[in-house]
Structure 1
C-alpha cells in the first residue's frame, strides 16, 4: 500500500534513517492518505532521542515545541514537521499530562499509547504501512475504536472522549461498542479539560456529516450537556405545538444536521432555542408557546460562547444569529435592504441558512416553505449584484461634506438627516440622486423650523 509523501517529509525520514534510526510518518496524516484526502499536517515518529534528532537536523531550524515529551518541530523546505521520539507514557495525573515519559526504541510501544486504531498507523516508503492494531481494518469497517483498553485511553486524556465523537462526525464512522460504553462511563472527565481544547474539537465536530452530527447530538446528549450546560433544560422538553414534531433538544439536533456545514451557522443552531424552556407557557387550548425565546436564548448563548473562548468575530456573529434567528425577512425589496443595512451581506446570508436549518427541523406540514426561503435568498443576491442599489450610508449619492457645503451644520443632527435619507431610499420613497437627496434634506430643515 503506497502513500505519496511530500518531498520534505520523505527527506526528513531519509535523514533520520541514513543516520541509523527508524522513522515513519504517523497518525492522522497516514489515516487521511489511506482515505484519499490530503493531510493538513505531517507528523513523524522516530527511534532517535530528542538530542539525536537535533544532531541529525543541525543544518535546519529546530524548534523545541514539546521537548519534555520528545517533540521538536523542524522547518524543512519552509514546511514545519513535528518529529517525536517513540515513547511510553506514565500515569496521567490530570486527564491530560503523563506524570512521566519514557523514551523507547520500539515503534509498537509508541503506537500502543495512541488514541484510536485509525490513528495508530505508521508509514515509510521502505516498509509500507505498519498497522499493529488493525487500524486499516477499522478504516474499511468505518469504525472508531480505542487502542487497547478504552477506559485507560480516556482517563489518560479526557479530550479523547470528544475526539471520538469528532472523528465519528467528520469521517461518518460508527463508534465501536466497547469504546462507546467507555465514552459514556467516563463523560464527566470532560470537566477536567480546558475550554480551549474542547472548542477546537467542537468546531470540527459541528461541521461533520449532517446526519451523523444529528445522531451523535442525540445519542451523546449528556456529553453536550457537560460542555454546554445551557442545553440541558431542553432535553425531553415537549413543545406541544403543531409546528413541531420533536422536543426542543431533538429539534435543535436535527436543525444542526440539516443545515449547511458552516461553523457559525451550525453553532448558532445548536444554541438558538436554549431560551425556550424559560419562556414556555400553554394557552387555554393547551398549545405551547415560547414568545420572546430568541432574546432569552441570546442571553444564555452569550454565557456559553464566552466559556468556549471563541474569537471576538465568531462570538459576535453567532450571538447575532441566535438573537435574530426568528427575525422576519420577506422577499420585499425594502425589507431586504433594511436587513442588509442591519446585518451586512455575509451575516444576512448566514441568517438565511440558519432559518433554512430551523425550518427543515419543523413539522413539514407547517414549516416555512423552502421555496419562500429560496425566493428571499434570490432577492438578496439580486440586490447585492445591482450596483445602483443602496442600503448603507456609503451607498448614498450624498455625503455629510456635501450637506455642509450646502449650509448644513456638522454634528449629530447631520447624521440623523443622512440616516433619514437612507431610510427613504431603502424604502423606495426617494431616488438616490444627489439633487433629490439635497432637496429632501432641505425639506427636513424647513419642516423642523
Structure 2
C-alpha cells in the first residue's frame, strides 16, 4: 500500500483539521493507494461548509460547485476539489442530484458513493475509514455497489459504464447482485450523453481485462452499440474462422496494444459482416464488400459516440484497408505507403496481424512479416513515399509557369512516377519532366 499523501494535499488536510474540521482524502485516490498505484486525482471531503473552506484558504479558492458543496483549492501546481460532507437528494435527470443536504457525518457522505472500493476515506496520518467493506472487496478483487445496487444505478446510470470500466481496467469481478442490477438498469444508459458514454467505453476497451467484460456484457453494450448484438454467436461458416464473429472481434482487440485507435479499429473492422454474409453452394460463408460496409457502419457508430473527426477518419481508413491485399513487392508496399503515409501503414500492419491472429489459421503472419521486411528495406533506401519527401515542390513548379490546382496535380503525377520506380527522386530529372509537360512537349513521359 502506498499511503504517502503528497505534500500539497497534506497541507490542505492539515489546514482544515487545524481549523477544527474533519478532513479526509476520499474515493478513487484512496482505492489507488491501497492498490499500490499512484493516484491521478485527489479529492478531499470535509465537515467544513464551502464558505468556511473559502475563509480558511483566502484568495486560493474557486467556487466550482458550491451548490453541491465543492470548492477547488489552489495548492501548488494543481487544484484540489474539497467537498463538504453531504447527503444527495433525488436524481431526477439520472446523473446529478437535484439538491444536496450538508451533514456532519462522514459515514453519511460515504454512503452516497457508487462502489464500496470507492467509499473509503484516508486521514493525513494514514487512518482508513471503511464503513462498507471496501477494503475487503478490494483485496478480493470484487466490485460491489454501496447499499442497494438498483438505487445506485437509478441515481446515476453512468455508474453502469463505470462498473464495467473498473472491472476491465482493474480486473475485478462484478459482484452478482451488482451485475444483475446493472443488466436490469441498462436501458437507463439511453439518457446519458454520448460524450460520457464514449469516455467510459474508451477506457473500458483499453483496459487490460476488457475481454471478459465484452464477453459477459454485450447486451449492456448493445444499448448504445446495437450493431454488436447480431455479432454475438454469429457462425461465420468459413474455414479461416474458428470463432463466432463477436469472439473473433474480441480476440482481435486483445491482439493489438491498448491504444484507442487500434482497439476501436478492431471493434469495428468486421461490424459489416452480418449484413454482407452470403453462403455458396458448398455451404461456405463469404463476406464480399464487408470492409466498405464496416467503414460505413463504423462511421455511424463513431458519429453517434461523438468521436472527434481526426480519430474517426483514422479508424475508418484502417477499417477500410484491413482486408485489402497489398502486393508483397517494393512497388506494392510503396504504393500503400504513398496512399496511407508511414504512420497509418504502421498501424495497418498491426491491424492485419491482429485480425489474422484471431482466425483459425495464422499462415498469413509470414505474409505480414514480408510486408514489414519490404517496408524496412524501402526505408533503408530513403525511398520517397510522400510529397514532403519529393525532390521538387510547389515553388519549383510555379517558376516553371504552373498555377493554382495544376501545381498539385503535377506534383501528384511526379510522385506517382517516383513511387512506382519509373523515375528516380532526382530534382533535375523531375523538373525536366515538369518543364516538358508544361511546354507541351510531344511524347509522354508517363
DSSP-derived class of the 1:191 partner: helix
1:447 aligns with 2:446: no
Structure 1 segments unaligned to the other structure (5+ residues):
none
DSSP-derived class of the 1:226 partner: coil
1:39 aligns with 2:39: yes
8 Å contact from structure 1 (residues 21, 48) kept in 2: yes
1:389 aligns with 2:383: yes
Matches of residues 33-432 of structure 1 in structure 2 within 5 Å? 33-60=33-60, 62-126=61-125, 128-209=127-208, 212-363=209-360, 365=361, 367-381=362-376, 383-384=378-379, 386=380, 388-405=382-399, 407-432=400-425
What is the RMSD computed on CA atoms of the aligned residues? 2.0
Quick check: 328-337 or 387-396, which moved more?
328-337
Cα shift readout 1:280-335 (whole Å, capped 9, x = no counterpart): 11111111111101111111111111111122211221222222221223553332
Q: Distance in 2 between matches of 1:394 and 1:446?
A: 29
Cα shift readout 1:9-54 (whole Å, capped 9, x = no counterpart): 1111111111111111111111112212211111111111111111
Question: Alignment length, in residue pairs?
Answer: 442
8 Å contact from structure 1 (residues 117, 146) kept in 2: yes
The offset of 1:185, in angstroms, is 1.4
Alpha-carbon spacing, 1:379–1:72, altered in 2? closer, same or farther (3 Å): farther
Alpha-carbon spacing, 1:330–1:7, altered in 2? closer, same or farther (3 Å): farther
Cα shift readout 1:195-244 (whole Å, capped 9, x = no counterpart): 111111011101011xx312211210011111212222323322111111
State the TM-score, normalizing by the size of structure 2: 0.94
8 Å contact from structure 2 (residues 341, 385) kept in 1: no
8 Å contact from structure 1 (residues 150, 182) kept in 2: yes
Cα shift readout 1:323-365 (whole Å, capped 9, x = no counterpart): 22212235533322222222222222222222222112111x3
Alpha-carbon spacing, 1:101–1:432, altered in 2? closer, same or farther (3 Å): same
1:436 aligns with 2:429: yes
The offset of 1:117, in angstroms, is 1.1
Quick check: 108-117 or 129-138, which moved more?
129-138
Q: Distance in 1 between matches of 2:398 and 2:125?
A: 77
Q: Distance in 2 between matches of 1:387 and 1:6?
A: 51
State the TM-score, normalizing by the size of structure 1: 0.93
Structure 2 segments unaligned to the other structure (5+ residues):
none
Q: Distance in 2 between matches of 1:2 and 1:421?
A: 60
Quick check: 2-11 or 332-341, which moved more?
332-341
8 Å contact from structure 1 (residues 259, 353) kept in 2: yes
The offset of 1:377, in angstroms, is 3.4
The offset of 1:127, in angstroms, is 5.1
